Amino acid sequence: VFNIGKLVDFQWKLGVASASNHSSQLNTPFITVFIKVLDSNSKVTAHSFELTISEFKNFAQQFKDMSQLIESL
Amino acid sequence: MAERISYLGYNIPPEVKNMIPVVQKFEQSFYRDILSMVALYMKTKKITLNKKEENDRLEQITDSIHNKLTISANDNKVDPNLSSIVFTGLYYILKIAIKKKVNNQTFLADITDLKLPQPLITDLSNIYNNQGKDLAEKSNNDKILFPKLETFKWRVDVIISSSFTSRVLIPVILMEMADNNGKTRVFEVSVDTFHKLRYNVAKVLKDLEDLEQNQIISKLENKLN
């Protein structure tokens, strides 16, 4: 079995960035995704990443396409 | 009558002692070369070498110095070991003078006492007068330190909902710190922890100000400068 791991955990959260050291009024919504992957060495590695709204729409669209394809099989 | 002790100490370091008989036999151009190599080495050496390129560059410089010493030793028909002895002795003379922040007259008086050849004394004192400040500044910055904080960014987020909670409006702070070793860390701080952090930072700042009030520290600073 080659090294594509298995998804073990998938969590998300939706937040709004209100201020940062660059600007005091951001008001940008974003989604943070946190996944845990079990790889072929039986080690669980955690990865987290952030998506802006448009990136998240792309992400969600791809999952919808995947689920459509799977249902059609 | 109190006799002043040389800045090199009551017992002259063996590296300098061993050099004195050897350097009497050398020609002025030869030890001028060696002296300029000593100055180059002092300007480029560093204690903490984080990046590989800096390490390689330092090795290049030390290798080239070693080669030049061997070549000029062969040119002058002198054993290369002797030229290394002279290099070490001159390096020590300059290094201890810079470390103890000796002033120019004391430096001149003490190396005259060492009974080195007169042109060498003039050359040494020229280097100390002209480049002493640069070398001192360089050695002040060349210390063994913990990694220093280079950049610090933060962001305040309000979590609207997540995969196991919904309709919660909790603010959270995200911080990103990069130190001068190149390591970057991103982490979350809850409002609670943030208040503790803020309290501790204020406390440290106050302690720093109290130290400046302390007269012993300011007296020490004045004595060193």
Which ipTM value was assigned to this complex? 0.72
pLDDT of B193: 93
Which of A10, A16, A31 would you mutate first to test chain B, the one with the most B CBs within 10 A?
A: A16
Does pLDDT of A55 surpass 50?
Answer: yes
DSSP character at residue B67: H
pLDDT digits (tens, 9 = 90+) for B141-182: 777 778 889 999 999 989 888 887 777 788 889 899 998 888
Q: What is the pTM of this model?
A: 0.59
**Cα angle vertex B134, ends B94, B14, to 5°?**
10
Strand partners, B152: B177
Per the CB < 8 A criterion, the answer to whether B29 and B119 are in contact is: no
Element (H, E) at B171: strand B170-179
B22 & B118 share domain:
yes
Q: How many domains does chain B have?
A: 2
Does pLDDT of A56 surpass 80?
Answer: yes
Which of B141, B157, B181 is a domain's end point?
B141
Per the CB < 8 A criterion, the answer to whether B6 and B12 are in contact is: yes
DSSP secondary structure letters along B23-59 = HTTS-HHHHHHHHHHHHHHHHH--S---SHHHHHHHH
Of A12, A22, A30, the CB nearest to B163: A12
SS in 3 state form for A2-62? CCCCEEEEEEEEEEEEEEECCCCCCCEEEEEEEEEEECCCCCEEEEEEEEEHHHHHHHHHH
Question: For B100-152, where are the alpha helices, taking DSSP H only?
Answer: 104-113, 118-141
Which of B79, B109, B141 is a domain's end point?
B141
B72 & B100 share domain:
yes
| B5 inside domain | no
Give the orientation angle of helix B191-213 with respect to helix B215-224, to 10 degrees: 70
Does pLDDT of B218 surpass 70?
Answer: yes
Q: How far is B198 from chain A (nearest CA, A)?
A: 16
Does pLDDT of B71 surpass 80?
Answer: no
B22 & B53 share domain:
yes
- Least trusted range by pLDDT, from A13-17, B114-118, B198-202: B114-118
| B9 inside domain | no
Of B224 and B106, the one with more pLDDT = B106
B interface with A, Cβ–Cβ < 8 A, is: 152-164, 171-172
Residue of B nearest to A9 (CA): B163
Beta carbons of B157 and A17 less than 8 Å apart:
yes
Query: Mean pLDDT of all residues in chain B?
Result: 80
Of A57 and B5, the one with more pLDDT = A57
Q: Are strands B149-162 and B170-179 parallel, antiparallel or unpaired?
A: antiparallel
Residue of B nearest to A10 (CA): B163
Which of B74, B106, B141 is a domain's end point?
B141
Beta carbons of A16 and B157 less than 8 Å apart:
yes
B63 & B170 share domain:
no
B133 & B182 share domain:
no
Beta carbons of A14 and B160 less than 8 Å apart:
yes
B90 & B58 share domain:
yes
pLDDT of A25: 87
Pair of tokens at residue A47: 């990865």
* Of residues A11, A61, A46, the one with CA closest to residue A31: A11
Show the domain range for B47.
14-141
B54 & B100 share domain:
yes
pLDDT of B11: 81
pLDDT digits (tens, 9 = 90+) for B108-138: 888 888 778 888 888 888 888 887 778 877 7
* Range among A44-48, B60-64, B124-128 with highest mean pLDDT value: A44-48
**C-alpha to C-alpha distance for B176 and B154, rounded to whole angstroms:** 6
B103 & B158 share domain:
no
| B19 inside domain | yes
User: Which residues of B are less than 8 Å from A31 in CB distance?
Assistant: none
Beta carbons of B155 and A19 less than 8 Å apart:
yes
pLDDT of B1: 45
**C-alpha to C-alpha distance for A36 and A45, rounded to whole angstroms:** 6
| B220 inside domain | yes
**C-alpha to C-alpha distance for B10 and B12, rounded to whole angstroms:** 6
**C-alpha to C-alpha distance for B182 and B17, rounded to whole angstroms:** 44
| B8 inside domain | no
pLDDT of B196: 96
Does pLDDT of A20 surpass 80?
Answer: yes
pLDDT of B43: 77
Which of A10, A14, A27, A31 would you mutate first to test chain B, the one with the most B CBs within 10 A?
A: A14
Tell me the mean pLDDT in the region B6-25.
79
- Least trusted range by pLDDT, from A14-28, B7-21, B148-162: B7-21
User: Which residues of B are less than 8 Å from A28 in CB distance?
Assistant: none
Does pLDDT of B29 surpass 60?
Answer: yes
Q: How confident is the model at residue B3 (pLDDT cuts 50, 70, 90)?
A: low
Of B157 and B54, the one with more pLDDT = B157
B52 & B130 share domain:
yes
B153 & B193 share domain:
yes
